[in-house]
Structure 1
Amino acid sequence: MNVLRFLLEGLRMEPKDKKPRPEQDRTDQSLRQEREKTDEEFSKKRDSIEENADAVVQHARATADTSLKVTRAETDERLARSEAPQQERQSVARERVQEDATLQRERTTSDEKLRDEREARRRALASLLRLERATTDQELLTERARADEALAARDDFLGMVSHDLRTLLGGIAMRAAMLVRNASEDEAGQRTRRDAGSIQHFTARMNRLIGDLIDVASIEAGRLSVETRPEDAIRLVRETVETFQPAASAKGLSLDAEVARDSLLARFDHERILQVLANFLSNAIKFTPEGGRISIRVEPVEQEVRFSVADTGSGVSESMLERIFERFWQVLESDKRGLGLGLYISKCIVEAHGGRIWAESRTDGGSSFFFTLPGARTSG
């Protein structure tokens, strides 16, 4: 089991010819958002630094201009007191015009040089940032390509192993059936029937586990097969109850369907939704003590059809209601509810139909599991 879990928990990158998985999409989206945030923060910091630098320059220039005005005013006052000739005053005025023009040119040149330097730094930093990100992207693509190869090898391995295992299990189940059929009526024959029945039970469980592992591999690869069409949800519920009635009765449980009409159309894949209901009922039967009650209900809710399976078992704590649909989830070592992949696969199946899935735990004990499917209207 640890090896199979490693295969499923391992490399998850999608081959180029396959549909990208949600994990990869979330990673790419998170990377884009982080880069946008970095660019925004860097731009704000750069603008703040430049604004502060400009303020310092403007303050220095304003101080210099003020000092120059004071100096010129003192010079004018001194010339006035000395009754300098008009020619000297005109000469001073011309010098001041030339000084002002030279100062303005120097400041304009300095401003242009500063803008050029800032633009050059921006281009250099942007180029460096693009290079670093391109390197990161290339490394990510390389890792994904390697993961794609490993995933393809894993899928091939799972496909071959599952086929061989199911062939062997089929042979074991057939031999067990032959033992049951050929067993004598004496005490030894009865023991043979019981042992053969246990073998059939274990092979069925192993076959379900193999199916779950294949489903999880398909889900992780974005290739879960779901073919929806208008189907009768009432008939599906009755079929499910009929299938599980012997198992419920054997444990002393009451199993019934609560339906208020003869037909209710929804769009779904019959076998896949039967798989979801079978998982819900299997858990309910497993965790409901003898003498308990299990009910399955289906009803229209606005534009959807809602299914529910309620039991009078031990229930699930409120803090764990969201986690029970996680892969390989379990509450405690002493509480085996949630072991396996059934609820995780059920969640993926329902969501692939465009529906919702959730669970509730009642204060008087027991749990209720719900899921919705898109409704379907009859033509005409």
Structure 2
Amino acid sequence: MVIWGERLGVMHFASARTGRRYDRADLAVAESLAWRVALAVDRARLYEEAREANRRKDEFLAVVSHELRTPLAPLLTWAEILRRRPDAAHARQAADVIERNIRLLRGLISELLDLASITGGKMRLERAPHDLSDIVREAAEDLAPQASEKGISLEVRPATEPLPVEVDGVRLVQVVTNLVFNAVKFTPPGGRITVTTGRAGNQAWLGVRDTGAGIAPDFLPHVFEMFSQGEEGTRRARGGLGIGLALARQITELHGGDIEARSDGAGCGAELIVRLPLREREVAVRDLRPSLDVPPAALEDTRVLLVEDVADSREAMREVLEQFGAQVVPANDGRDALEKLGGAQPDLVLCDLRMPVMDGFEFVRRLRADPTRAELPVVAVSGFGSEESRSACREAGFDAYLAKPVDSSTLVASIRNALRARRQAS
């Protein structure tokens, strides 16, 4: 039985009781019957696949709702506490809770945007020479506090030899972070996580081994599938969207590598291994993490035209910029910003993208068309964090792009970098 070029099975006909041999007419009936059976089987299979996809979609949306609501709860609670008791002690504790949960929300949103980029084939890699061990150290360093807080030993064992790879450093840090975070999530207090790097032939590899919950044999083939999180109770207890490992696999494969999961079963721990092509020759590697340390007066004597239609966002950014010494001129939209350019004489423009009256794209197009202001640096700050939005900003003429929410160090560092780049280009 064949349908759409795929063989589904075999239909067997025994001889008739009369002893008559099957003729061409019988064969035609048999072929018609086989095709109809194959079509019915194929439709039943497609129905089951569609039903399963719909079930997983509904489950994923429920998980997303849960994961977004969870950090919002303490944010609302602490806002109410500060309103009633705005003393210094409560303010410090509230600041810690707010920052921690906003970073969690930002991570969840970034994962969702990465999912959209990958499934739409729009994720772009910015490859550069790196040493794989440096990437692993950075990711492990970021997650060390979480492991320590949970009472888990996190050890990095880098290779003694260089492991030169040409990769998108930010994306590969994301891969390693997802693997280590997954290990932290599924390893109980007192457990161990070991991150190792090495060389095998023309490949560099990294392995993340833990003494955690392990992976059941029947689930092992599905570990890297989108929205797969294993047993229901385990998923609810550990949290997460169920896309971290799927993103790790997709990003690894975009780099021409592969990823593998190993486990002896539930309760036996697990090991996740990533393999990447080595560069043919070693080259100087890039610094993965440029310094974001900025002095208190980093923007002193810098005039910034701040274009943002949402009043709360505009005032928050204005406060941050003024704390670092900037002189800020606010504008409500692109048209308002064009009208204020002459009087403000800014050194740089911070501009939202989606605004009423005139959006950020139209504003920057008009700015670049004016010979007297064409070289003015403009940094986009937007809630659109997709790869498509970044590309559109580059093509429109923005100097840099920041996705909301952006922390103050990154904001100030980006402003300084944009100013420096324009000065060097002139």
TM-score, length of structure 1 as denominator length: 0.50
Larger Rg: 1
* Richer in helix (by share): 1
Greater RCO between the two (CA within 8 Å, min separation 6)? 1
